[in-house]
Amino acid sequence: MDPATLIDRYCQVWSEPDAAVRAELLASVWSPGATYTDPTVHAEGAQELLAHIAKVQARRPGAAVVRTSEVDIHHGLARFAWHVVQADGTALPESLDIAFIAPDGARIERIIGYFGPLAGRAK
């Protein structure tokens, strides 16, 4: 699977309202024991991540995660920008994820997420 397809399928997981379909999508891209870390949570394994996604979706029903950049990849590391588009069409600030890709290129071993743009450096 090419990196963009892998990442887009991962983003679909966050957007899918049906829990069973969401679990199937995640299983297609998530390595056993993979971890997800962002400023609000550290999830180990698919079940913890799926539980976290369900909580996020409950707070933002009908929202979708949309990739907003190319997937930049080297040495098994990928970075991509994304944002949440709420049900009313309002886009939240762009954010950034770093994905650790399995050696075969077919699965994600770890995601580290950052919310919002980088702050400018104080001079």
CATH of the domain at 105: 3.10.450.50
The answer to whether residue 118 is domain-embedded is no
Tell which residue, 79, 76, 67, 66, has the closest CA to residue 118. 79
* Domain tally, the chain: 1
Identify whether the C-beta of residue 22 lies closer than 8 Å to the C-beta of residue 53. yes
Q: What is the residue range of 15's domain?
A: 3-110
Q: What is the pTM of this model?
A: 0.94
Task: Read off the pLDDT of residues 56-102 as tens digits, 9 standing for 90 and up.
Answer: 999 999 999 999 999 999 999 999 999 999 999 999 999 999 999 99
C-alpha 97/C-alpha 79 separation (Å) is 6
The answer to whether residue 119 is domain-embedded is no
Say if residue 11's pLDDT is above 90: yes
Tell which residue, 1, 12, 2, has the closest CA to residue 67. 12
